[in-house]
A and B are shown apart, each in its own frame.
Chain A
Amino acid sequence: MNIGIGLPTTTPGADGALVVEWAQLADAGPFSSVAVLDRVAYDSLDPFAALAAAAGVTTRVRLATMIAVGPLRPTALLAKEAASVHALSGGRLTLGLAIGARVEDYEAAGVDHRGRGKRLAEQLAYLRGRVDEERVGPARNGIELLVGGGSGPAFARMARYADGYAHGGGPPRAFAGAAARAEAAWRDLGRPGRPRLWGQGYFAFGDTERGNAYLRHYYAFTGPFAERVVAANLTSARAVKDFVRGYEEAGCDELVLFPTVADAAEIDRLAEAVSG
């Protein structure tokens, strides 16, 4: 199992310089990918702008959206942004897409929240089917495509159009359940081989209270669920190791750990926890 690290694009107190430095340090460390989240109505960086900046200072790691909310963007623009990051990085983009969970992001973007699943399916067919590629370059071939979401239609979209599944986070047992559903869908749609399975979690080593406060704020829209996310924040090397082992046993191919504290010292501490 590969281990990736999130960039601090949604955590409070991270400026542009830290995000760039973070990507550079991750590329020099034991991580196989750097990944970003996607919010509109939140003080956060645009996922594709952040990955483009990361592309410029990294040579090795994959650049991943975990996930980007596809339907918030017009399809051709989404394809253009993704293909541009892919080109700028020399073909290192992993594009995770889903419908997202926040109505306010749709409101802020002026996009109808209804019909979002159908729109995402169209976007995936456009991206993967290379529709309109002569007109809307650069080329999209080689972009690793992941789809997230927990509904039956989400698993069907994943198996129909993508290379793998982007899980939304939770204990290893929840991941294992989702992985079984992803594999069931993959078989049902007659895909050869098996889907790539990506998982994610949150961590904070230093100021864990600050990390928890950020998660509480970020997930406030979910009501009581926010406290469940906070409770799952990995705040010790032991917790990280257990989590990593659990995901590995559940068949995860790439586990991305997202910072909740924007402090570059967290990178080394995570590197130590996952290599020790």
Chain B
Amino acid sequence: MKVQVVGGGPAGLYLAILLRKADPAIEVQVLERNAPDATFGWGVVFSEDALGALRDADHETYVAITDTFARWDRVDIRYRDRLLQSRGHSFSAIARKRLLEILQQRSFALGVELAFGCEAKAVPAGADLVVGADGVNSTVRRAHEPEFGTRVEPEGCKYVWFGTDLVFDAFTFVFRETEHGLFQVHAYPFDERTSTFIVECPEATWRRAGLHELDEDESLAFCERLFARDLEGHELFSNRSIWLDFPKVTNASWHHGQTVLVGDAAHTAHFSIGSGTKLAMEDAIALRDALVRRAWDVEAALVDYELERRPVVERTQQAASESAAYFTRVAGYTHLEPIQFAFNLLTRSGRISHASLTVRDPAFTRTLDAWFTGASARVAPPPVFAPLQLRELQLGNRIVARADAEAVSGAGLVLSGFVAVSDAGRISPDTPTIDEWTPAHRPVILQLGHAGRRGACLPRAVGVDLPLPAGWELVSASPLPYGPYSRSPRELDEDGMATIRDAFVAGTHRAAEVGVDVLELDFAHGYLLASFLSPLTNRRADMYGSERLRYPLELLTAVRRVWEGPLAVRLSVTDWAGGGLAVDDGVAIARALVEHGCDLVHTVAGQTVHDDRPEYRRSFLTGLSDRVRVGARVPTLVGGHLTTLDDANTIVGAGRADLCILDLPSSDVERKVRAPSEPAERQIAQT
């Protein structure tokens, strides 16, 4: 068996070591383009769980690596002249150069053939396995990009990677406001003399600051000046430190014939979650394991390797992308109180939640909870149990239940479901109208709407947007049918607009009579009011077409005039369709709604057109709610398949929404507790 490893970075060297250890009869050659002591980048980070895998895979390198590790358990956040600290985050770091020395020495000792200054083009034929461990710009991958299905896209901010002789004693984030915009630093120690010091900012800020025109020395000087206070008189060091875009690499397949990709060649994860080297070395372990398990049957082993690694890697890449996106938007969060800003930062990638942070650092979440709920730090409940004030109304907590859910008692607010302003505004014959509706639960948020071109359909127990055989006349902003077999609506004329506006006002009076706590106008999901907002559905030639917000805002104003309580609007923040409203448009609409008296935005997305491209997953609306809340400075209500109380505590605590719709899965435990008359339970009760 002959293995050729292209690239002498951590992934390639570690694989070579593990293969020689597994079977000394295997010939392993590592080809490295650079000299043995040439390295780019300063320190690399490992989390605690990565170390366990390294210990089991090769104890000698584990000991050597951990011997030189810088360790810390604190994250420091410097923000608005405050220093916030969170503990319990076990990290280690090592100089990349030192890591490579250790791996090179161990490779030599185990008889790996190391060839430096060797281009990949020189790979001779005849190897049983070729490993592309040659990093983000892998030449091995580039030789077969179509077969690997490679995609490389920039993500996150512009960044530059420096070293400094200031030794930080924690993983340190610094946020610095400038006239050009916000800059931030990710810094951590990696040996007893040096720290990594990464500076980043969004591209627009970078251009405003003129950094695109500065050379390496000038931009180093710029960063030294900007962070002089944090550097405490220490210097920054350059090592080919130029401003870069982070390339996100994905491949549809990591292997092709006898060739396999590992580490950054196969996949990258944004540096802001510090997982790149960990993933690379774990790849090496998984590949060695697969080869051993499959008795060196290369083809079978490569399948195994990819099967095992892909889910782990994809989860990490998802978290890394969330983190990268957070840092491009972080300037929008600078109005947050420091404790909430810090919690938002710590939970940015979805890997840390309120509950998991409570395990790591109970004092931190206790402080957050106390600040959030205004209670004493000793007894503060978590964020969802804080009351919410909307005008004169105080809601007991932040949990919103659907009226059709198993349990609604105890929820801060209950959703009514769609209630039509008139018979003609119903979705289907079983849609309640405001004239006959009464609240089944309190406090209730009444979703008052007009179905527009999505009306006159079969009940949703059958399906959605299936037209009734004999329905009623439909109206919409423009005469465009909604979906297959949908009837064409009539373009609503000004008399029709006035009639419907009056119906909303009459419905509002009726809501006040029957007892409604929050009134919500439905401007979402392609219903009548939403059809005015989107360019996909509003093709009108009149002023209600040139000013698409005009009619919805007129209606909102008319209702606001007669409704004194909290007024919400349910809004599709994006159409999820080409040519439709994008998130920025949705945020701008939300701002206009707030100016016209809206107190709460219920954030949803899509369904403007029937052939949209929604992004369904757990928590799929949280990011949109966050954008609205920050961009329009308005409280938000969000659903999007939140399935745990911890989801809600994290979202509310981090300031991504103010109210959360919970879709708790029904559980066996709950069913059994509720039905104690079943024989098995009786027996338990008797004994």
Residues of A within 8 A of B (CB): 117-118, 121-122, 125-126, 128-129, 131, 151-153, 155-156, 159-162, 173-174, 177, 180-185, 187-193, 223-225, 227-228, 230-231, 251
Residues facing A in B241-293 (CB within 8 A) are 253, 255-256
A173 to B310, CA, bound (A): 13
Measured CA separation A126–B485 after assembly (Å): 8
A151 to B460 CA separation, bound complex (whole angstroms): 22
B residues sitting closer than 8 Å to A (CB atoms) are: 147, 253, 255-256, 299-300, 302-304, 306-307, 311, 404, 417-418, 458, 460-467, 483-485, 576, 604, 606-607, 610-618, 620, 639-641, 643, 663, 665
Not counting A151-B613, A192-B404, a sample of 15 additional A-B residue pairs whose C-beta atoms are within 8 angstroms of each other reads A152-B615, A159-B464, A162-B463, A173-B311, A177-B617, A181-B616, A182-B616, A183-B663, A184-B641, A185-B614, A192-B461, A224-B255, A224-B256, A224-B302, A231-B304
CB-defined contacts of A160 to chain B, threshold 8 Å? 463-465, 610
Contact pick for A223, options B253, B417, B485, B613, CB 8 Å: B253
B466–A129 contact, CB under 8 A?
yes
Closest to B483 in A: A125
Q: Is the CB of A125 within 8 A of B485?
A: yes
Q: Which residues of B contact A184 (CB under 8 A)?
A: 616-618, 620, 640-641
Q: Report B-chain residues with C-beta under 8 Å of the C-beta of A131.
A: 485
Known: A160-B464, A187-B663. A155 touches B616 (CB 8 A): yes
Rounded to whole Å, the gap between the CB of A178 and the closest CB of chain B is 10
Query: With A160-B464, A187-B639, A228-B306 in contact, do A129 and B617 touch (Cβ < 8 Å)?
Result: no
A225 touches B418 (CB 8 A): no
Instruction: Choose among A129, A153, A230 the residue with the greatest number of B CB atoms under 10 Å from its CB.
Output: A129
| Chain A interface helix/strand/loop/mixed | helix
A231 to B303, CA, bound (A): 8
Residues of B within 8 A of A129 (CB): 458, 463, 466-467, 485
**Contact partner, A156, options B307, B461, B614, Cβ 8 Å:** B614
Chain A min CB distance to B71 (Å): 32
Please state if B617 and A121 are interface contacts (CB–CB under 8 Å). no
What's the minimum C-beta distance from A14 to chain B, rounded to whole angstroms? Answer: 27
How far is B661's CA from A188's CA once the two chains are assembled, in angstroms? 12
A159-B465 Cα distance, complex, nearest whole Å: 11
Tell me the minimal C-beta distance from A180 to chain B in angstroms.
5
List chain A residues, Cβ under 8 A from B462. Answer: 128
Q: Are A125 and B484 in contact (CB under 8 A)?
A: yes
How far is it, in angstroms, between the C-alpha of A265 and the C-alpha of B306 when the chains are bound? 34
Q: Which of B300, B302, B404, B484 contacts A126 (CB 8 A)?
A: B484
In angstroms, Cα B616 to Cα A155, docked, is: 8
A residues near B461, Cβ cutoff 8 Å: 191-193
Residues of B within 8 A of A117 (CB): 611
Cβ-closest chain A residue relative to B404: A192
A residues near B404, Cβ cutoff 8 Å? 192
Contact B613 A153 (CB under 8 A): yes
What residues of A have a CB within 8 angstroms of the CB of B483 in the complex?
121, 125
Cβ-closest chain B residue relative to A154 = B616
A155: shortest Cβ distance to chain B, in Å? Answer: 5
A128-B463, A129-B485 given as contacts; is B611 within 8 A of A180 (CB)?
no
What residues of B have a CB within 8 angstroms of the CB of A174 in the complex? 311
B287 to chain A, nearest CB (A): 15
Contact A152 B613 (CB under 8 A): yes
- Residues of A close to B303: CB separation below 8 A: 224, 227-228, 230-231
Q: Are A156 and B253 in contact (CB under 8 A)?
A: no
Top 7 A-B residue pairs of the complex, sorted by shortest distance between their CB atoms: A184-B641, A227-B303, A129-B466, A125-B484, A122-B484, A184-B616, A160-B464
What are 23 inter-chain pairs, A to B, with CB distance below 8 A?
A121-B484, A121-B611, A126-B484, A129-B458, A129-B463, A152-B615, A153-B614, A156-B614, A156-B616, A160-B610, A180-B617, A181-B616, A182-B616, A184-B620, A184-B641, A187-B639, A188-B641, A190-B417, A192-B404, A192-B460, A223-B253, A227-B300, A231-B307
Contact A187 B641 (CB under 8 A): yes
**Which single member of B253, B417, B643 contacts A225 (CB below 8 Å)?**
B253
Query: Which of chain B's residues has its CB closest to A181's CB?
Result: B616
Closest A residue, CB atoms, query B467: A129
Measured between beta carbons, the chain B residues less than 8 angstroms from A192 are: 404, 460-461
Knowing A153-B612, A228-B306, A228-B307 touch, does A190 contact B617 (C-beta < 8 A)?
no
Q: Complex formed: what's the CA distance from A181 to B302 in Å?
A: 29
Q: Considering only CB atoms, which chain B residue lies closest to A183 in the complex?
A: B641
CA distance A138 to B311 in the complex (A): 45
Asked if A118 and B464 sit within 8 Å, CB to CB, the answer is no
Select one of A118, A161, A182, A183 contacting B463, CB under 8 A.
A161
User: What is the CA–CA distance of A8 and B165 in the complex, to the nearest angstrom?
Assistant: 69
B621 to chain A, nearest CB (A): 9
- Residues from chain A with a CB closer than 8 A to the CB of B484 are 121-122, 125-126
Chain A positions within 8 Å of B610 at CB level? 121, 160
